[in-house]
Amino acid sequence: MSGTSLTRELIQRAPKVVLHEHLDGGLRPTTVLELAREINYKGLPTSDPDELAEWFIADAPGSDLVRYLEGFSHTTAVMQARDQLERVASESALDLARDGVVYAEIRFAPELHTGRGLSLDEIVMAVLNGLEHGTEQAAVEGHRIVVRAILSAMRQNSRSEEIARLAVSFRDAGVCGFDIAGPEDGFPPTEHLSAFHLIQRENFHMTIHAGEAFGLPSIWEAVQFCDAERLGHGVRIADDITRVGDRYELGRLASYIRDRRIPLEVCPTSNVHTGAASSIATHPIDLLRKLRFRVTLNTDNRLMSGITMSSEFEACANAFGWTLEDMEWLTLNAAKSSFLHFDQRLEMINTVIKPSYAALREA
C-alpha cells in the first residue's frame, strides 16, 4: 500500500488504540523500585532503575516464555495493596496517553493481587479508581484518552467462573470484558467453558489468549468451543497459511477467522521475546495485514519488552515499509474491534481518529 511515509514524529502524533496491554507488565521501573522500598521487598535483581529496566527485557538469545514471565513475580509483588494498584493503574493510563493512545483496554488478573488480604472487589475498585485518576491527569496535560479494564482469569487455576461473575458485576463501572491468560500448553480454554457460557448469557464481551505459545488447536478451541470475540495474540494462525508460488492458500481455520473478521490482538515484539516469532522482520503480522485479516497492533507488556505503542509502530514501519495509511488502517481495526458500545466506537472513529489522520496527511 503506497502512501505517506511514516516518520517517528508522525507516529508519535498519530492517535493509537491498544487492545492488549497487561497492567502488571507496564509498570515504570522507578515505580517498581519505589514500591519495593516501601514494603521492604528484597527480591529485585538490582536497585538501579536503568539496570532494572534492562533486566526486565527478556530479549537475550535463548529467551522464551518462561524467562519472559519471570519478571511478573516482581511486579505483582509490589501490587498487593490498594494504593499500589491505584498508583500503577494511574501511571499506566497517563503513560499511554502521553504516547498518543486515545483508547486503551488494560487487562489484569484480580486473583494475583490478593496477597495482602484485599478482596476481589477491592482490587477491581482500586484499579478502576487509578485508571480514572490517570485519565484525569492526562486531560490536564492536554491528552485525551478513554481507558477500560478487562478482567483476566488464570487458566492454570480454577477461579475463572468467579472472575467472570466479577467482570459482569463491574460492567457499568469501567470493566468492558473478560479474558483468560496464563500458560496455553496443557491448559486449554475448554476447561473454562462455564465461565465463557456465563459471559455469553450476560451479553458481555470476551477475548481469549490463544495462538501464542501454543498453535492452531488453541485458536480452534477458543473460537469454536468458547465463541471468543477476539484472539489474544492469535499469531499462530499463520501456521494455517501456505505459500504456493506467488500466492497464499488459507486453511479452513484461517479462512474462517478471516471470513468472520475475528480480531487478532497481535504483539510483535512480545512475540519475539517469548519465542513465538524469531524476529520482527519475519513476524507474520505483515502477511496477515496483506491478506486482510482483522489485525490490530498492541504492546502486551511495555516493561517486559521495553516498548511503547509508538516504538512498536516504528519497528514495524522500518521492517515492512508501513505508511501512515497502514497505521490508520490498523488503528481503525482496533477501534472497530474494541469493547466500547457501537455509538461510542463510531464517535471515536469519526471525531478523533479519522480527522487526526486526515490532518497529518495534509500537514
pLDDT, tens digit, for every residue of 90-132?
A: 999 999 999 999 999 999 999 999 999 999 999 999 999 999 9
Give pLDDT, residue 66: 67
Report if residue 3 sits inside a domain.
no
Tell me what the mean pLDDT of segment 129-151 comes to. Answer: 98
Of these residues, 21, 91, 184, 212, which one is catalytic? 212
Give a yes or no: residue 313 inside a domain.
yes
For the chain, what is the radius of gyration of the CA atoms? 19
Question: Which residue has 537475550 as its cell numbers?
Answer: 60
State residue 175's pLDDT score.
98
Q: Is residue 318 a part of any domain in this protein?
A: yes
Name residues whose C-beta falls within 8 Å of residue 268's C-beta, 6 or more positions apart in sequence.
Answer: 277, 280, 283, 285, 297, 312, 315, 316
**Which residue segment(s) compose the domain that 133 sits in?**
8-362
Question: What does DSSP assign to residue 300?
Answer: B
The CATH number that applies at residue 171 is 3.20.20.140
- Please, which pLDDT band fits residue 65 given cuts at 50, 70 and 90? low
Q: How many domains does the chain have?
A: 1
- 2 within domain boundaries: no
Q: Is residue 1 part of a domain?
A: no
Q: Quote the pLDDT of residue 184.
A: 82
Instruction: Tell me whether residue 229 is one of the annotated catalytic residues.
Output: no
Instruction: Judge whether 299 and 316 are in contact, CB under 8 Å.
Output: no
Residue 208 inside a domain? The answer is yes
Condensed to tens digits (0 to 9), the pLDDT of residues 31-53 reads 999 999 999 999 999 999 999 99
pLDDT digits (tens, 9 = 90+) for 263-280: 999 999 999 998 889 999
C-alpha cell at 113: 493481587
What share of the chain in percent tops pLDDT 70? 98
pLDDT of 60 above 60? no
Confidence (pTM): 0.96
Has residue 175 been placed in a domain?
Answer: yes
User: For residue 183, what pLDDT band results from cuts at 50, 70 and 90?
Assistant: confident
Strands 247-250, 241-244: pairing is antiparallel
Contacts of 6 (CB under 8 A, 6+ apart): 313, 314, 317, 322, 323, 324, 326, 327
Grid coordinates in use for 33? 523500585
- Please determine, for residue 246, whether its predicted confidence score (pLDDT) is greater than 90: yes
Q: Say which residue the cell 485508571 belongs to.
A: 131
For residue range 278-334, what is the model confidence (pLDDT) as tens digits? 999 999 999 999 999 999 999 999 999 999 999 999 999 999 999 999 999 999 999
- What pLDDT sits at residue 1? 43
Distance, in Å, from the CA atom of 27 to the CA atom of 22, rounded to the nearest integer, reads 9
Please, what sign has the CA dihedral across residues 141, 145, 146, 148?
Answer: negative
The per-residue pLDDT for 274 is 86
